Amino acid sequence: MAGKGNTGPLKDARIAVFCSGNGSNFEALVKKNRRLAFPGRIVLMVVDNPGAYAIERARRLGVPVLYVDPLAYENKQEYEKTLYKELRLWKVDLILLAGFMRILSPFFVRKYKNRILNIHPSLLPSFKGASAIRDAFEYGVKVTGVTVHIVNEGVDEGPIVLQGALKVSEDDDLMSLEAKIHRLEHRIYAEAVNLVLTRSWKIVKGRKFVLCD
Ligand code: GRF
């Protein structure tokens, strides 16, 4: 049982995955969900880009797609209000950002406090931003990895749920490193979702994700 200030478990969660591009994490999550790697159900994909290959994957997998065009709104808050309204209609409890190339405002983040996760392709807090794999590779790191974190009002800086590390070998080029990172992401994201949905946890000092069961 969750104590005061604790969250979870939430085994019947209705889950939405937000994408903008390729959608490989989305596909891995749906497949893992169907193999019961984590509870709850992915009920919806949200996209901000009608050309995203992720949409094709969703069709193939039979997951409904919600496209809301951000350019059709006067400002971010109006766009996010529409998103929020739709998510309520779909009764979404948990949001998984998976290559969603848009920064959610404090307005939206507060509506889903501690209920939005993101995956980032580096060991945060190193290499924040949109070109993390390339930045780490060009920096010459010997170890890199992936981070699943709770989304707070900052960018790439919410409490860390889970990280996975891998070695960069002498033979790696950017392409091979990207492939390794994506393979690791596809495993770690489902593990992190499972933790969040099946365990009791809290955020200590606004920073640390701590299991408490
Ligand atoms: C992943 O590397 C993820 O870490 C980052 O965006 C990429 C999305 O890839 N946030 P995909 O669309 O899931 O294939």
Task: For residues 189-195, give the mean pLDDT.
Answer: 98
**Contact by Cβ (8 Å): 108, 83:** yes
Find the domain containing 180 and state its range.
Answer: 14-200
Q: What is the pLDDT of residue 48?
A: 98
Q: Higher-confidence residue: 2 or 138?
A: 138
Does the pLDDT value for residue 188 go beyond 90?
A: yes
The number of residues in the chain equals 213
- 5 located within any domain: no
- 6 located within any domain: no
- 2 located within any domain: no
- Read off the CATH number of the domain in which 81 is found: 3.40.50.170
Q: Whose CA is nearest to atom 8 of ligand 1?
A: 99
Residue 207 DSSP code: T
Q: Is the pTM of this model over 0.95?
A: yes
Task: For residues 41-52, give the mean pLDDT.
Answer: 98
Task: For residues 146-150, give the mean pLDDT.
Answer: 98
Q: How many angstroms is it from 118 CA to the middle of ligand 1? A: 10
Does the pLDDT value for residue 5 go beyond 90?
A: no
Residue 61: strand, helix, or coil: helix
> What is the spatial distance between Cα 106 and Cα 167, in angstroms, rounded to a whole number?
35
Structural domains in the chain (count): 1
Q: Whose CA is nearest to atom 2 of ligand 1?
A: 121
- 205 located within any domain: no
CB atoms within 10 A of CB 21: 16
List, in sequence order, the alpha helices (H) in the chain.
24-34, 53-61, 76-89, 106-111, 132-139, 174-198
- 144 located within any domain: yes
> What is the spatial distance between Cα 170 and Cα 182, in angstroms, rounded to a whole number?
19
Measured from the CB, is residue 21 less than 6 Å from ligand 1?
A: yes
> What is the spatial distance between Cα 127 and Cα 132, in angstroms, rounded to a whole number?
5
- 208 located within any domain: no
Residues involved in catalysis = 120
Measured from the CB, is residue 120 less than 6 Å from ligand 1?
A: yes
- 207 located within any domain: no
Percent of the chain as helix, strand, coil, to the nearest 5: 35, 25, 40
Structure tokens at 27: 């596909």
Q: Whose CA is nearest to atom 7 of ligand 1?
A: 99
58-69 burial, b if ≥16 CB within 10 A, otherwise e?
beeeebebbeee
- 8 located within any domain: no
Q: What is the pLDDT of residue 11?
A: 87
